[in-house]
Amino acid sequence: MIKPSGKYASAEDRWAGLGPYYAMFPADFANQVVARYSKIGDTVLDPFAGRGTALFSSVRAGRKALGIEVNPVGWIYSKTKLNPAPREEVFTRITDVEAQASTYRRRAKALPEFFHWCFSLEVRSFLLCARSVLNWRDNDVDRTAMAFLLTHLHGKSTDSLSNQMRQTKAMSPQYAIDWWQKRRLNPPQVSPVRFFEKKMAWRYAKGVPRPSKNTIVLGDSTSLLAEFHGKLGQSGLSKPTLMLTSPPYLGITDYHYDQWIRLWLLGGPPTDRRTPTHFKGKHQGKFANSDVYATLLKDVFEGSAQLLRKDAVVYVRTDWREPTVSLTRNALKSAFPSHALRRVNQPLSGTTQTRLFGHYAPRLGEVDFILTPASV
């Protein structure tokens, strides 16, 4: 019997890429760091979890994972990859949503103009129903269903529910309307149930990732890290021996603005023709103020230091630009004064968040700070 081979030969391979999201770690990079700096059974911490790449690399390598993410979109992706619900239950839930969607047609017709250009009436009704009935915060089946909806909410018109659009970044409403009108592009006529039946068939074809001990929490690390002190054992976790993370970069992007359509599906407000409106808290903007950014790093790194084992390794990837790199280095040295700090420059030829948002300087790349106990 020939064993399957190729890029998506295992359940872990198929679930690793769930959820389009800017600035995620390359999976190979996370795999290498986890393998080098932790052992099987160790716990790995990521206080800026994003869509959970570091956490997923940890559990697939036999480690345990603890993560915190402030953006609901990233949290849903992370939580679902680590703990997907059974396929049959998820598909039944999506079928239930479509069965109720006709009762939302009137509200679908009343949505702002952007939504009429972006989605067909059938899809708008389905999305409004999903927005109303899916309990993604507390129910594994509903959260997994929502993860599929978010993943394919917008993108190529042949591979999503929307008119032609970027998949990772939602454009501003008026820009998108003008672009579609100029090209005479209309939203695709999609049956959500048939669409997601095919998407789920591929994702679940090799099963689901092996069960693991993991905790991924939705919220702000500046306040949540303290809640884990003395409580890790209740989750089956030990004190982390590795922190692998990448904080948001100063002044690069606003993750909530870039995800405004997905956040609308999660209960955020609709938008007018020009500017997306979205819900966000203290640490959910663009981080344009260097003092606020420095305080964020200080609070999170010091909170992490209290949670980590004394001999833990700290691995942080950040931007090469100033003042981001200096602020990150200073916050790490303050939080881990007994650790030796090493800087490794990482020039990258591929797409990084720095390039995505308009910075094309020759030094394009990122910086890794690796902190180890002085005795190591």
Sequence-distant (6+) residues with CB within 8 A of 169 are 22, 258, 356
Q: Where are the domains of the chain?
A: 310-350+361-376
pLDDT of residue 273: 46
Q: What is the mean pLDDT of each run of 10 residues along the chain (376 residues)?
A: 62 93 81 97 96 96 96 95 97 98 98 97 98 98 98 96 94 94 97 98 96 94 91 89 94 74 90 52 61 95 97 96 95 98 81 43 76 82
Whole-model pTM: value is 0.90
pLDDT of residue 122: 98
pLDDT of residue 178: 97
pLDDT of residue 181: 97
pLDDT of residue 352: 46
